[in-house]
Amino acid sequence: MSVTAARGFTASGVSAGIKDSGAPDLALVVNRGPSYAAAAVFTSNRVQAAPVRWSRRVIGDGALAAVVLNSGGANACTGPAGEDDARAMAERTARALRVEAEQVAVCSTGLIGVPLPMDRVTAGIDAAAAELSEDGGEAAAIAIKTTDSVHKTAVASGSGPDSGPRSGSGPGPGPGWTVGGMAKGAGMLAPGLATMLVVLTTDADVSAPTLDSALRQAVRTTFDRVDSDGCMSTNDTVLLLASGASGVRPDPAEFAEAVHGVCLDLALRLVADAEGASKEIEVRVVGAASEQDAVTVGRSIARNNLLKCALHGEDPNWGRVLSAIGTTSAVFDPDRLDVSINGVRVCRDGAAGEPRDKVDLSGRAVTVTVDLRSGDASATIWTNDLTAAYVHENSAYSS
């Protein structure tokens, strides 16, 4: 049920003709209230798409009534005309829904530097508005795909102020409150955020400051720790909208846990669907002097192309892990480093440990665990292997 798992929301996805393939490419998510509280996190790339600039402005008052999203074109690096197009998308959506343009966030994804076919976009907005329904979440999730092979949704729910959240891709809402979400992303996956568009919804009665706190906490340890290929996008956007339709005001910590659960679910789906990937790699760094050290080491390992190639070839080359650690400023003693790959400690005290032929890399899941033996902090980074399919996908992307 995606973004319509939470009560008070409708959604739709249509084919507007933005993509030459005729695939769905325009989506609407609409908050029917009674609350319109919202929060957002955007890319930290200094080159930002026109939709990001527009949405940054309108989220300033902590309220949104709708989100319009398109795939097939990023509307990034398109100059003043692109700014006008982002505004026009908001205005056309506002007119169709009878709300103010400043209540509409805009998200776009696709090729950079190419203007949107605005006649098709605006007609698509009208068509999407006519198809809005409480069952439209899946259609919306499909419409925002670019190189994604699958659409990505997740749901978590709680029964009341004292209940713990239950996360996953289903079932739908119960008598309490729900958080639903959809995401797109399969390439340019790196912080801040990852290359993605994410819309989260909830029917909990939650204020904008509480939404903002929960969202930023969740993003910091989920989307911000997905590092597929080290490339940061111009369009990354994560939105969280609250309708308050359940009438339930959950405990803030439990609500934050539910938001985190949905974000983590979606983040891992991004990694699983990364362009050309044949391995999903979890890099766990423990024993760090600080969380920042753990993140820095984990990210260095996740971005090591030699290691990513080795793991694709099912070679547990732990020397490449140590080489990646050594490029960082983290606190560690090179002669006290331990590395395990899929549970086999192949490196002990900075030297060879158990025989590498004990490591089974035949499956899709790979876990690389590094113990810096310098403290109690830890962090996890998620990445994938580097394959010929990834190179092919990105060598032909704009042709």
Q: CB count, 10 Å around CB of 53? A: 15
For residues 226 and 137, the answer to whether their CB atoms sit within 8 Å is: no
The answer to whether 222 is a known catalytic residue is: no
* Closest by Cα among 181, 175, 173, 240 to 211: 240
**HSE-up (13 A, CA, CB side) for residue 130:** 7
> Cβ neighbours of residue 140 under 8 Å, at least 6 residues apart?
2, 3, 11, 12, 13, 27, 28, 29, 69, 182, 199
Q: 251-300, pLDDT tens digit by residue?
A: 999 999 999 999 999 999 988 887 777 999 999 999 999 999 999 999 99
The residue type at 52? V
Would you list the domain boundaries of the chain? 2-272, 280-395
Distances (CA, A) of 249 to 137, 262, 277: 24, 19, 41
- Homologous superfamily of domain range 280-395: ArgJ beta chain, C-terminal domain (3.10.20.340)
> Beta partners for 43?
none
* Closest by Cα among 274, 278, 78, 90 to 195: 274
Q: What is the block-wise mean pLDDT of the chain (399 residues), using blocks of 10 residues?
A: 94 97 97 98 91 97 98 94 98 98 96 94 98 98 90 89 48 72 72 66 98 97 85 86 97 97 94 83 98 97 94 96 98 98 98 97 97 98 82 59
User: What pLDDT was estimated at residue 359?
Assistant: 98
User: What pLDDT was estimated at residue 45?
Assistant: 86
CATH for 2-272 is 3.60.70.12
Exactly one of 78, 195, 296, 369 is catalytic; name it.
195
Q: What does pLDDT average to over the chain?
A: 91
For residues 250 and 209, the answer to whether their CB atoms sit within 8 Å is: no
Residue with tokens 């797109």: 184
pTM of the entire structure? 0.90
The residue type at 43? T
For residues 51 and 75, the answer to whether their CB atoms sit within 8 Å is: yes
Sort 388 into a burial class: Cβ within 10 Å, 0-12 / 13-18 / 19+: exposed
User: What pLDDT was estimated at residue 194?
Assistant: 38
* Closest by Cα among 273, 197, 199 to 237: 197
User: What pLDDT was estimated at residue 230?
Assistant: 66
